[in-house]
Structure 1
Amino acid sequence: MTSPDTLSKTEDRLVEHYTADRPIVQVQETTALTPAQMREYSIITPEAMGQPMVDAFRDIRTRLLAAAGDQNIVTLVVPVSPGSGGSFVARNLAAAVAFDESKSAVLVDCDLRQPSQHTTMHVDAKNGGLLSYLENPATLVSDILYETGVPRLRLIPAGGTPSRHGEYFSSFRMRLLIDSLRSRYPDRYLFLDGPPVRGAPDARILSEIADVIVLVAGYGRDTADDIARAAANFDPNKFAGVVFNEDV
């Protein structure tokens, strides 16, 4: 892994169905988003390669994949504080992996208190999401895995707010979900959009099931002390670095 130095400085100016015995990279989207829709939904597009922000995400992706070697990995993306842009970074790192036609990505919205991915990506989570799976043993992974309109990128939305108190992220069902997602397809990479480090232990609990942790700091918003305290919550062997997100 890289040291806890800055991986990149990005500028936030942008505004599954399982198919047996088929690699996920061969599964086509029912309806693909246009480049204009992707920009509207704050998702980077392959057509914009060469632009600084898009290339920043591609660079971070390349570093993560190089560190992973030949293993598909689970990357936890967490903001230092609310509003730092963690969901934006998680979404676009997943999209950057999906640029590669030999790979696929699943984005899991693990911010149960303030979920946003299904709204931002205009996904109708009619079957529920992560909470449905964690709370109901009858829910299948395929029930909560949604197309996004981005080729090779699937979303598991949060699926509502917690209806009871419980340690969702340390549960057997959570580990089962992660194992199921990563083992079915060797070309699939998981991105967990985690809650802010400040205020609750959930980000640290999620880090136990992740291979890599990326911390997102609001540029000019989170202080050096804030970042250092947030980074201290994680195993240094898993900590890949800090992404500074501008215009948050």
Structure 2
Amino acid sequence: MSTVNTLERVCARAWPPVVARPLGEWLLRAAGGYTGRANSALAVGDPGTGLAEALAEVVAFSREQGIRPSAQAVLGGPVDSALPAQGWEVNLGHPKGAEVSVLTSPLPSAADTTAEVAGTPPPGWFELTVGGEPTPAQRAVLTSGAVGFASIRRGGELIGAARGSVVDGHLHIGVLEVRADHRGNGHAKDLLAALDAWAARLGATTRVLQVAIHNQRALALYGSLGYTESHRYRYWVPAE
């Protein structure tokens, strides 16, 4: 199974920011505020300088990009443990949750599914996943890389959508949405099965995704599909 640092870098490549700037082994990221993953410093590995200097670079980059300074650090890792002494705190106000579980599993054998996967977002896909016409930053993040857009239609209407990306043999699931009036009917599993089959054709052997720890419904779904936790990370911000 992939190491923690490898998984973090795979996930970062699968969810690419609009602006990326390396800082040693760290990665500074910005995408107009769209998602924490694309608007934080991936603080994994050696930044090539002292921690205080690296964090100052994070703050300067964030101000340059017009976003709030933020660092994504592996829970219990050396950066996560050292941040409080640097005047940073866990971002408990993060809208999607400050603590995230990274789940993995081997890619399973193909299963029957009614979902389809296309290389471009089908009609209605953005409306369901981002609520309408995407911003330039949303479009850039969601459509960059080796991406598959899964969808399910009923009566001509799109009722389910998901996004998968293949990076270095890993299928990364970045979006999964089922319309509220169609939930509980197995559509999420159909969408995920379609992405599994699509990724297998591209040579993927492992699945990975990130889900906030408070999202118990999602955790239960992924657990039923064989995903297990590799590690967790947290979002940190400078203390006010």
TM-score (norm 1): 0.34
The structure with higher relative contact order (CA 8 Å, sep 6+) is 1
More strand by share: 2
Query: Which structure would you say has the larger Rg?
Result: 2
